[in-house]
Structures are given as structure tokens and as C-alpha cells.
């Protein structure tokens, strides 16, 4: 066996051993619940904005709200650990992904299997990165660090990109990617494809969980799609001030005709997604 293959097999065995740990699985499942808490708070803030209130309607705003609550410091560290564990779980899943089984051994069939394998691998790594980043933000807020809003972060990153050759093109690609991700969430909600990664009971509470998933995925998809559009506009105009995160996305919704109603509806949808995440913690196939 080649040394590289030996190292690869050793790494995969270590990853499988880590995933077989019951404590790791429980902590990773808690990460879905932690993600649910964040989305519920964002949804509540968005509804408050739709009713004329004030607030920072993004992940940082939700975590700052937790920090201001009794025992918020402890809650933030619990969220950070759980989200970090879930991110690591997805990272390991991406590493352990195998090509999809199937008959046929032609070159084109092999290429399709490899493409599918890397598609699933990148999807797992992307999810892992999102959860780990959210866990890092939670830990930063717990430590008292000043955390910028998603709008400020997006504008700062866009300004840096737009100042280098080819930056507008790269920013446009990022915006396109986030927009496509938003559309993917909407499609997952409409097609109910999230059920493939869960063991939702057919009776009892099952239909309610599926309903929450449909509404939640569509609402989150709409929010992400708007963020992608804002980044595309910033790239086309070469104007970093046009970029923004979730906070700016909801501001854009509020500026539309019947904006408060639209933003409030998305806020309710995000709360539904947050509640769904609690059930995902229970029924996810890990």
C-alpha cells in the first residue's frame, strides 16, 4: 500500500471513530437546536422591525440578544460548542463521502459518480463551515468581542474585493453563489428534499414537522436570495455600500410595497425554520 493511501485510510478510520462517539453525536445534534435558537430570535427581530421596532436582524443581533439575557454568557458558550460540533460533524461527513453506488463501469459513468461524490463533499464542507463560523461568532460575543453586523462585514469584505483587479467579478460570483444557495433552499422546501436526511415519522407529529420544514426552508431561501442580489448589485455598480447581509436583506424587503407584511411573513417563516431545527436535532440521520 502506498504511503499516501495509508495516511488516507488512517485519517478516515480516525474520522469514523470520532463519528461513532455517542457524546459527539449528541453534541452535534444539539448544534441543530442551537441553530434553531438563532433563527427563532432572528425571526422575532424581523417581526419587531415589521411592526416598526428596531433591532439587528442577523446572526450577530440574535447572539447579542442572548448575551443580554440572564445567564446569557453560559448560553452563548453552550451554543458555540454545539455549533462547532455540528460543523465538525459535517466536515467529517464530507471527508467520508463515497461515490454513489450503481451499475455500469464506463468512463462516463465513473465520472458522473465522482462528480456526485465531490458535489456532496463540497455541500457537507460548506455546511460545516457555516456552522463553525456561527459557533466562532457565538464564542466571540461570549468573550465580549465587538462583532460587526452582517451588513458591515459584507460591506467591508466587498470594499476589499472591489479594490483589487478582478474583484468585481469575484464578488459577483459570490453573490451568484449565495443567490443560488437561496434558490436551492426554496427548492428544498417545495420539493421536501430535506426529508431524505431525516427519519420523520409518517404519523403523529410527522406532518407538522414536514410543514415547518417547507415553510422554514422557503423563508430562509428568500432571505439568502436577497443577500445574493445585493452582492450582485454591489459588483455591477462597483459600490461596496450596496452590499449587505441579512439585515440589509430585510431592510430591502421593508422598502417594498406591503414591505412590513412581506418581512413579517418571512420572519414567521424563519421562526418556523428555527422550530423545525429542534425537530431536526431529534430526527436527523447522523
For residue 96, pLDDT beyond 80: no
Look up the pTM and report it.
Answer: 0.84
- Hey, what's the cell of 266? 418571512
Q: Please give the average per-residue pLDDT across 44-58, as a whole number.
A: 87
* pLDDT, greater one: 146 or 18: 146
Least Cα distance to 92 among 121, 131, 132 occurs for: 121
pLDDT for the residue numbered 107:
58
For residue 258, pLDDT beyond 70: yes
Q: Please give the average per-residue pLDDT across 204-212, as a whole number.
A: 94
How do residues 84-93 score in pLDDT, each as one tens digit? Answer: 999 999 888 8
CB 278 within 8 A of CB 32: yes
Q: Please give the average per-residue pLDDT across 188-198, as a whole number.
A: 93
pLDDT for the residue numbered 80:
94
Eight-state DSSP code of residue 194: G
Residue 79, SS3?
A: helix
- Hey, what's the cell of 189? 422546501
Residue given cell 422546501 in the structure block: 189
Q: How far apart are the C-alpha atoms of 220 and 226, rounded to whole Å?
A: 10
Amino acid at each position: 500500500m502506498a504511503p499516501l493511501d495509508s495516511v488516507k485510510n488512517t485519517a478516515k478510520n480516525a474520522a469514523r471513530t470520532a463519528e461513532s462517539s455517542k457524546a459527539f453525536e449528541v453534541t452535534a445534534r444539539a448544534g441543530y437546536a442551537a441553530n434553531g435558537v438563532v433563527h427563532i430570535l432572528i425571526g422575532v427581530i424581523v417581526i419587531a422591525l415589521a411592526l416598526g421596532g428596531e433591532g439587528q436582524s442577523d446572526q450577530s443581533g440574535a447572539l447579542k440578544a442572548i448575551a443580554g439575557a440572564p445567564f446569557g454568557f453560559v448560553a452563548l458558550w453552550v451554543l458555540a460548542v454545539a455549533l462547532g460540533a455540528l460543523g465538525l460533524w459535517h466536515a467529517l461527513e464530507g471527508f467520508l463521502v463515497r461515490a454513489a453506488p450503481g451499475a455500469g463501469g464506463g468512463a462516463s459513468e465513473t465520472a458522473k459518480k465522482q462528480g456526485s461524490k465531490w458535489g456532496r463533499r463540497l455541500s457537507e464542507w460548506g455546511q460545516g463551515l457555516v456552522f463553525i463560523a456561527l459557533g466562532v461568532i457565538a464564542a466571540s460575543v461570549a468573550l465580549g468581542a465587538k462583532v460587526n453586523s452582517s451588513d458591515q462585514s459584507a460591506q467591508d469584505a466587498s470594499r476589499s474585493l472591489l479594490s483589487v483587479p478582478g474583484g468585481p467579478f469575484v464578488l459577483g460570483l459570490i453573490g451568484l453563489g449565495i443567490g443560488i444557495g437561496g434558490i436551492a433552499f426554496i427548492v428544498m422546501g417545495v420539493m421536501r428534499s430535506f426529508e431524505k436526511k431525516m427519519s420523520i415519522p409518517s404519523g403523529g407529529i410527522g406532518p407538522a414537522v414536514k410543514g415547518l420544514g417547507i415553510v422554514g426552508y422557503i423563508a430562509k431561501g428568500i432571505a439568502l436570495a436577497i443577500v445574493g442580489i445585493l452582492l450582485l448589485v454591489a459588483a455591477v455598480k462597483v459600490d461596496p455600500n450596496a452590499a449587505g447581509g441579512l439585515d440589509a436583506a430585510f431592510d430591502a424587503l421593508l422598502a417594498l410595497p406591503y414591505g412590513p407584511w412581506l418581512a413579517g411573513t418571512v420572519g414567521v417563516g424563519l421562526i418556523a425554520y428555527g422550530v423545525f431545527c429542534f425537530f431536526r436535532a431529534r430526527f436527523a440521520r447522523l
